[in-house]
Amino acid sequence: MRMLIMGPPGAGKGTQAGSVAAHYHVPTISSGEIFRDNIKRGTPLGRKVDELIAAGDFVPDVLTTSLVFSRLLWPDCDDGWLLDGYPRTAAQVEALDIVLRERGVAIDAVICLIADSDELVKRMLLRAEIEGRKDDNAETIRHRIDVYHEETAELIDLYRERGLLVEVDAMGDVDEVRDRVIEGLERKLGR
């Protein structure tokens, strides 16, 4: 299984990605985790990424793409993966398409989590309070959601046209949403 998971910030992509990847026995490749690891280690890339995230901006395509593609070369990805947070732009989709064609593989499904923006802001403010995330305040959260809709929402249409999209209501309890995702994937894959 080679899958993507998409959705606005706070929709639960990371939580659902882990559950879905475990269900299908594939690794989760999270661009956010790759970024946080570099920030934690204080690498030059990590410092640059930290500045961008604090401002509510996305990391440039070239940096994100090189980090994600280097991770896809690990042996645990030979039989599949679930990408969380990548691709986010048309240029990233194009780069991913080229790499997959060169490797003779294709994406099986694209999970798209759907959620109301006001509910996402509430959810993320609560998370910020619990986890002490300095980059999550109401203004930055709204900016990140707006950037998502401006730069990423067009990808939903592209994957819908390709017949890969599995749209799932992301509001509700974690297990309930996971069950919706698995049901949607099973329907899409004809299982």
133 as an active site residue: the answer is yes
Among the options 36, 48, 122, 127, which is catalytic? 127
User: What is the Cα–Cα distance from 105 to 97, expressed in whole angstroms?
Assistant: 9
**Three-state DSSP class for residue 160:** helix
48 a catalytic residue:
no
Among residues 88, 123, 178, 180, which one is catalytic? 88
List 13, 71, 123, 180, catalytic entry = 13
**Edge-to-edge strand order for the sheet containing 28-30?**
28-30, 81-84, 2-6, 109-114, 165-169
Known catalytic residue at 127: yes
Instruction: Say which of 123, 144, 178, 180 is annotated catalytic.
Output: 144
Query: Is there a catalytic annotation at residue 103?
Result: no
Q: Is 13 among the residues known to form the active site?
A: yes
CA–CA dist 59, 125 (Å, integer): 22
- Selected catalytic residue, list 36, 122, 133, 142: 133
Contacts of 29 (CB under 8 A, 6+ apart): 68, 71, 72, 77, 81, 82, 83, 84, 86
Containing 3, the helix (H) or strand (E) segment is strand 2-6
Instruction: Catalogue the active-site residues.
Output: 13, 88, 127, 133, 144
